[in-house]
Amino acid sequence: MEADLSNAELNAYVPQLEDVRDMLCYMVVSRDPKLKKTKEFENGMRDVAWYFLNFFDSNGFLLDNTLSSDDRVDLSLYDLKEEKLLDIEKDEVWVKNSYGSKLWNIRHWVINKTNIIRLAKRYREEKDAPPAKSVPSEKVDEMKELYGNVPEDVWSSRSYQKTDRAGT
């Protein structure tokens, strides 16, 4: 799914399990780049995405009044809001009862579809990119051993000095 959707397409878009999984994968991998992007890792993130999406309706809304404070923490709602993956919308409704009327505040957590699509796409692009070539750790150790034993005065005596073409 492309991040360049029209407003009508974006409004009609229902967050897909794979998009949320890949968005979560991107967030986790960006915080720990050494993490291996294996099938097991993605399957684990799929379970987390499934758990997460089950709280939201098909339009990407979650009524905050139905959550306990533990639910908000377990779902990392505040963290996802800081990452701009969720927004909060507030409504006020007058409710009448036998004692009169009362103003009731309603908060909705709303999935930021644009950012989820963008991060899911970025994760897929990085996953499909060829791995960067790195120097094997044995070679790094060998170079450290070789150059680590060179005295400092040798390094300073071999420094580049600018001379003109005549050698003066």
The tens digit of pLDDT for each residue in 123-150 reads 888 877 776 666 667 777 777 777 777 7
- Read off the pLDDT of each residue in 4-12 and give the average, rounded to a whole number: 65
pLDDT tens, position by position, 32-78: 777 767 778 888 888 888 888 888 887 888 888 888 888 887 778 88
pLDDT for residue 50 = 84
- SS3 per residue for 63-125: EHHHCCHHHHHHCCHHHHHHCCCEEEEEEEEEEEECCEEEEEEEEEEEECHHHHHHHHHHHHH
pLDDT for residue 10 = 62
User: In whole angstroms, what is the distance from residue 106 CA to residue 64 CA?
Assistant: 7
pLDDT for residue 97 = 82
pLDDT tens, position by position, 143-152: 777 777 777 7
SS3 call for 32: coil
pLDDT for residue 157 = 63
Q: Strands across the sheet with 100-111, in order?
A: 61-63, 100-111, 86-97
